[in-house]
Amino acid sequence: MGDFNIRPIRDNRDRAKMYAHAIKDIKAFESMLEQERFESGAPKIGLEQELCVVDQKLEPSKAALDILDDLQLKEYTNELALFNLEINGDPLDLKGKCFSVAEQNLLDLLGAGVSAAKARNLQLLLCGILPTLQYRHLAFSYMTPIQRYQVLSKMLADIRGDHFEIYLQGVDELIMSLESVLFEACNTSFQLHLQIAPQDFIRKYNWSQMIAGPVLAACTNSPLLFGRELWAETRIALFKQSLDTRSSKNHLRKKLPRVYFGHDWLQHSPAELWKNELMRFPLLLTSDDFQDPMQMLDEGKTPNLRAIRLHNGTTYTWNRLCYGPQGKNPHLRIECRYLPAGPTVADEIANFAFWVGLMEGQPAEHYNFWQNTDFRVAKDNFIRASRTGLDSVIDWFDGPESAEALILEKLIPLAKTGLEKAGVDSKDIEHYLGIIAQRVSKQQTGSSWQVKAFRNLTSDSSRSIALKAVTQQMIQYQLKNTPVGEWEEIGKQESHKLQSINLQASTLVEDLMSTDIFMVHEEASIQFVDQMMQWKNIHHVPVEDKQGNLIGMITDGLISRRAPQLNDQQSLARDIMITDVITADAKDSLEEAGKVLQENQLSCLPIVYRGKMVGILTEKDLESVQVPLSSYT
């Protein structure tokens, strides 16, 4: 999340000063480009690894800062949520065995983190979205207590003027709102950096936009969120909506979200990217110790351009311009931000090699492709790939092609040419591009594997247990560093084995409760309620009000007893419902829930969160873990 020495903008004068600093930085940047003060030699590569911290129940842990204290490694840093960490790899020259070196370096750093986590009975996971995340994990108590995060969340919320909302449609639908930006914390990525010579920046930046769709199609790893099956790479839509300051109440004119793919091709200068962001997005943060960049240039020094970089850090393009002021001469980089973490380090480095190879292998006949290609083609490809991964049809130069055919027949050979041109070792090229080819030819990305496993596991167990089983298997494969193309599908036999393990370890209500609930509105007719029970062969129907709050319960026994006094045509649910409803929380233990059922002689127990019903636990659920109800007395 960038610069930590920041504060909120206090008033209009403060905002005007920040604009002045940012404008000076852009002018200095343009001057540096004109004077050719940037590095233009052999490029370097770099990476950033985000990851999740989970406890022994495979749920998000708040111990990220404790692990950082234990590690004391400069490569590790905090993230927005207390269940996330980030590793920053050292830059490497793009040549020789750079990718195998990058893999080993990352494995070593990750191994140190795994050991530190294990000492606290925790585990680390590489995944675009942690499958076991629940809505309750996005409470303010899970935000890392650092001023930048808190200020940024408040400023974005103030601009929006409302709660942040997400609405995603895939196989399932998800509609939720949140007061803070913590929806963003659901996303963990593997970010790639490639140094670019200034004279090549325009064509290479545009090329990075064009290849984004097919690259993402081969690398998806985020299909599940809160137990819903959504996009192949759900992060793309979730990240966009999690920081969107636009409101549906004021959305008549065209406005860009702060997370976006782009608006058009880059035309004349890298500075256009920063100018566009300064013009389109309100300032959020400032500081009190900005340099005068023009004075620094006059003195022969390299300015840090901190003001515009600070603003750039509050807007999020999937391919980002990065300015590096380190060393004698500053450098420019393109940061690829759309790839998810995982499934394994081997997969990530393969993704890295594939992307870099394509960037370096841009054919000469496509140097100026953007001059006669509609930008919306690249954007459309990117959204398609986000939604459907390798099942996407990509609009390429010769016409529409399946993502699989395009990658195997054209892009992998192109990436190989690019890596050879850069002087990368032939064994590295064959190994990492082979991982991509295997994954694509088998049609098995991290997303497709998760979806198949989740469907098999939920065929006869709860979503909570299925998600934990999926997470458990992912961690095991990651520890072995087995590329996802080699992962075995969780079949029926294996699914029963995993379910048994998780059922035995189940201690919480959420592990067993059913979330597929039939509810009625308080104004529903008794005749309809009675008929619903008969159709679905159920004995209890919860009743909710207009706000979706649980306000009552109707049983088939209650209807039978009251039938003589009821008018089927006119009597409503609210007329007979039980209003003193005994409920439990999803985080209650099964022992506690069992005692409630036994003491109150109930056959089911509604599970609520903030007044809303989120599940139901029955006697049969408890019997499924072979614990008779009498044991809770």
Give tens-digit pLDDT for 207-254: 999 999 999 999 999 999 999 999 999 999 998 887 776 665 554 445
The DSSP letter of residue 46 is E
* DSSP strand pairing (584-585 vs 604-609): parallel
Please count the CA atoms within 13 angstroms of the CA of 480 that sit on its side-chain side.
10
Report residue 27 as tokens. 């002018």
Regions in the chain scoring below 70 on pLDDT: 1-4, 245-256, 491-506, 565-569, 624-633
Residue 498 has a pLDDT of 60
Taking the C-alpha atoms of residue 401 and residue 404, their distance in angstroms, rounded to an integer, is 8
Tokens, residue 499 = 């379910």
- Peptide bond just before 131 cis, omega within 30 deg: no
- Spans of all domains in the chain: 7-441, 511-632
- Name the residue among 76, 167, 60, 160 with its Cα closest to residue 113: 76
Single out the residue of 209, 189, 216, 192 nearest to residue 45, CA to CA.
192
What digits encode the pLDDT tens for the residues 136-163? 898 889 999 988 888 877 777 777 777 7
Q: Helices H, strands E: what count in the chain?
A: 23, 24
The 3-state DSSP class for residue 252 equals coil
Start-end of H helices in 344-491: 345-360, 375-388, 403-406, 412-422, 426-441, 446-457, 463-480
Q: What is the 3-state secondary structure (H, E, C) of 542-605?
A: EEECCCCEEEEEEEHHHHHHHHHHCCCCCCEHHHHCECCCCCEECCCEHHHHHHHHHHCCCCEE
Q: Are 191 and 335 in contact (CB under 8 A)?
A: yes
* pLDDT of the residue at 248: 58
Which residue is listed with tokens 């001059």? 371
At residue 497, the pLDDT reads 63
Query: Taking each helix axis from N to C terminus, what angle separates 426-441 and 98-118, rounded to the nearest 10 degrees?
Result: 70
pLDDT at 259: 84
Kindly report the pTM of this predicted structure.
0.89
Q: Which residue bears the tokens 């609210």?
A: 574
What are the structure tokens assigned to 363, written together?
A: 């054919």
The per-residue pLDDT for 496 is 60
3-state secondary structure of 15: helix
User: What pLDDT was estimated at residue 515?
Assistant: 82
Structure tokens at 353: 């090699």
- Residue 495's pLDDT is 57
477: number of Cβ within 10 Å: 20
7-441: CATH number? 3.30.590.20
Instruction: Note the pLDDT of residue 627.
Output: 47
CATH class of the domain comprising 511-632 = alpha beta
- Only one residue has tokens 């030819």, namely 441
What are the tokens at 318?
């999937």
Structure tokens at 194: 């490639």
Give the count of beta carbons closer than 10 Å to the beta carbon of residue 219.
32
If you compute the radius of gyration of the chain from its CA atoms, what whole number of angstroms results? 27
Tokens standing for residue 509: 């209500």
Q: Which position has the token pair 């075995």?
A: 488
